[in-house]
Structure 1
């Protein structure tokens, strides 16, 4: 039998309990891989079936729909079940974010003359990177919601908007069962959650 270091060990030198453990782990992992593959096939089929249904539904109105669309929620006729397909876009900023930060820093420097330096920390927090060096897009985009009528600030907000880049997307599917009159509970396909 091959050990963890890649060495071959004669079977008669491997303790029976180690052989039994190895057999059990091999069997369980094979089962897990089989389920993973079945879930992958099921997921692919769900996306195909829902896409076909959306086309069928659109044909009722003589409309052709092409390409990936947004989020979709389908309910069973009795409302007991619902299926949600969601597309989450991965958003990042390009180099223009640095220009926006420089403009914002200039605004803060002008506006905070004679005031407490802690004010600068509040806005600079939006540009703080996490452990992987990624900037929290939600915090930065939150700055765009502020109604500040200042030419420099507005140029910074334009730079933030133009620096946004969609670098990919991921499709999710979720299944729910109604509990009570208006609350839905997820039908978990996560082994740890079952």
Structure 2
């Protein structure tokens, strides 16, 4: 499948669960992915899951890799040339995304994946980047099944969601919703109220 061929994506924030699910879908679709993972264990798991189409680094190395530095490689994907720019950025929150904004191509997309993205902050960042043609949106996951999580109340749909379902929504906002910016999409089984 080559749905995301020639796409260059950076996934930062939490590499387990949602971040890894986003990276997997991108890699399966032919994208080149740079994924930040906090622990050595998480990085090793991500390399196993993603293969050579992704480069997996510690969060502290992302900006260095994008700037063309020599951060150690974990994967062997196509991130070898200096001065890399991504057209897709997936970040857990605005403070995580902000330092990487110079590396997002004009006309690209940013999707925030925090359970509680402030709608006003999302709209403000979208307005700030509109002149560059960069769309900024957010998914707001809730009631997502996590390994080892305890019992939680079920949302109206009667089941917990999966990280894969959040990934699909994030990818929709990043690649298909080309006339959408400043939006916050709840992915919570109907738990959120308007």
What TM-score, normalized to structure 2?
0.22
The structure with more helix, counted as a fraction of residues: 1
Q: Which has the higher contact order (CA 8 A, sep 6+)?
A: 1
Instruction: Choose 1 or 2 for highest CA Rg.
Output: 1
